[in-house]
Chain A
Amino acid sequence: MAVIEIKNVAKRFGEYQALHDINLTIADQEFMVLLGASGCGKSTLLRIICGLETASEGEIWIDGKRVDHLAPKDRGISMVFQNYAVFPHLTVFENIGFGLRMQKLPNDEVKRRVERTAGLMHIEQLLSRYSGELSGGQRQRVAVARALAMEPDVILMDEPLSNLDALLRMEMRAELKGVLAESNTTAIYVTHDQVEAMSMADRISVMHEGKIVQAASPIEVYRNPAAKFVAGFIGNPPMNFLEASPQGGGKFSVAGHSFDGPSAANSNLQFAIRPEDMTLAENGFPAVAKVVEPLGAHLLVTCELDGKLFRAILDSEMQVKPGETLKLSPVQDRIRWFDPETTLAVA
């Protein structure tokens, strides 16, 4: 049982404000992913939750208890560090068992847990090696195993799979998710990788410049971005934006075409659409193809539309050549609108 509540947390490093008024509640056994660009404050937030850093303002509650004043070890938390922090002077076995030894668990219990978690991370053959001899990916898995071996209520993971190759990462992420679900652990997982975020998260918190912009289920974040930043960050490639001017009666003019928009709005808006939500149609936007990239299953076409770059994902059977003019039409119910002033979504 561990609900994590982050209340009005702010963090300043001297003049620089790394976190602004963060409010987030992570449910018991939830798998929360923090997603955001480099330097947006993900690690700082994790370090505040586990107690390695103190918040300049705000409170952290775990399992109904305020923990701000508690030492890291008294918070029931274990952590996978972004830079692993695997002890070079200990063997892999002793690294994984480090926390268990500190708890003075009996030898056979330490052995059982170390072997089990090493097995989960596929590093059982490395147990007697020193970590100086390991590759980055192997060290990373030792770091994850060390955190799992603690069987904590809460596990914080700072880009724990970033150094693995694509195949192993895919395998690990499924296993990790399975292990955590089975062990009833509440998890906060930091990543840059959207696919990882989408596939693992119960909920994704998108962070930008020290703020949480949106915290919602992966599909919600993808389909209904709460702000332009989220729309332009999530998705590969992300959403396209076009200028829209009001025509009255809830109609908006976008690149010479008229669309039904938010009826309450009568100022300039931004029209947003995902590349895969474009189809070819006679009455579509005329777009000049600039770059054509076959991606196997799909064809990614970068065009020029209304003087801006515009991406569309089309069927790979299509024959498109650079310079060709395409007629692109958006799927009506996938169109989203953003207010250019507030950058927030408008419904």
Chain B
Amino acid sequence: MNPRLLPYVLILPVTLFLCLFFLYPFVLVAQQAFSNSSGFTMSNFRDVTEHWKFPISLKNTFLLALAVVPIQLALSLLMATMVTKMKKGRDLILYVWTIPLGISDLAAGIIWLAIFEQSGFLNSMMGGLGLIDSPTNFLSYTSPVMVFVAIMLAEIWRATAIMLVILVAGIGLIPKEYYEAGEVFGATPWQRFLKITLPMLRPSLQTALVLRVILAFEVFAVVQALGGTLFPVLMGETYAYQFELLNSGAAAAIALIILAISITFTLIIMRALRVPKGATI
């Protein structure tokens, strides 16, 4: 076999699989988004974006991503550095911290609902401690901030571990000589983190952020469980168009808008965290 062809032959099965089950449906969705009974049209996009709920759900989605992702980034970096410093019990801690990864997002939403509900843990705890007289409804339209905070907490709890896992692997790849050199040449632990860990972690940070940001724009089940209609997000709108309004053209249009946002952010992150030529290990 010609060695120049071999790699292409080897990736052929995967490529075919992706074309069949990803690219083809994607083309169909795109076709749906850009057509109605009379052929090519932009009317689906116009209808969707002119609907009163669109700006709100767009704003909510961005707000949530903006509030959650930086906190998750900081948390996962902190947790990853802590785990790497550990000598014993490292695997156990990592295992415990990654448990939320194994729970579906709807289940995660329901768990946090059980905490914040009027008859939930939080109310019974505060009642038991005598902090409140009667149970309050935290998740009502009168307390939008509380709804937002609950969703944030659930998202942070649920999806920080995915970043953690990637960062732990990335930190493990940084040779310890660099830290020793940093130490000898006078860098404090904080400076070593800033000047050595962060820059050398760029490839992992890239992967972790891209994954997390894409997931943040696709947030749905957690929001649905905790906020319902109080906190509309883009993905919820897609669901509503498709299954409640039975307008698959509009649903496809929103899906494409989410895709465009995801691609844009992916490109921005890749660009911002790119490693200059020649600066790899």
Footprint of B on A, CB under 8 Å? 50-52, 71-73, 77-79, 81, 83, 85, 87-90, 98-99, 102-103, 129-133, 146, 150
Contact = CB atoms under 8 A, between A and B. Distances in A.
B277 to A, nearest CB: 7
Given A78-B184, A131-B278, A132-B279, 13 more contacts: A50-B184, A52-B183, A77-B184, A81-B177, A81-B180, A85-B178, A88-B281, A89-B279, A98-B182, A98-B195, A102-B185, A102-B187, A132-B278
Contact of A129 (B175, B177, B181, B278): B278
Given A85-B180, A87-B178, A89-B200, A99 B186 contact: yes
B183 A73 contact: yes
Interface in B154-195: 175, 177-178, 180-187, 191, 195
A97 B175 CA distance: 21
Given A85-B178, A87-B196, A78 B185 contact: yes
Interface string B267-281: 000000001111111
Contacts of A83: 177
B181 A102 contact: no
B184 A52 contact: yes
Contacts of B25: none
Given A78-B185, A102-B187, A133 B278 contact: yes
Nearest to A74: B186
Closest 8 CB pairs of A and B: A99-B185, A133-B278, A130-B278, A102-B186, A85-B181, A85-B177, A73-B186, A130-B279
Contacts of B279: 88-90, 130-132
A103 B177 contact: no
Interface string B194-209: 0110011010000000
Contacts of A73: 183-187
A106 to B, nearest CB: 16
Nearest to B280: A132
A268 to B, nearest CB: 49
Binding site secondary structure of chain B: helix
Nearest to B198: A89
State which size class the interface on B falls in. 20 to 34
Contacts of B191: 102
Contact of A72 (B183, B275, B277, B281): B183
A87 B200 CA distance: 9
Nearest to A53: B180
A250 B278 CA distance: 69
A146 B185 contact: yes
Given A88-B200, A99-B186, A81 B181 contact: yes
Contacts of B185: 73, 78, 98-99, 102, 146, 150
21 contacts: A52-B183, A71-B183, A73-B187, A79-B181, A85-B175, A85-B177, A85-B181, A88-B200, A88-B279, A89-B199, A89-B200, A90-B199, A90-B279, A98-B182, A98-B185, A99-B185, A99-B186, A102-B187, A129-B278, A132-B281, A146-B185
B187 to A, nearest CB: 5
A71 B185 CA distance: 11
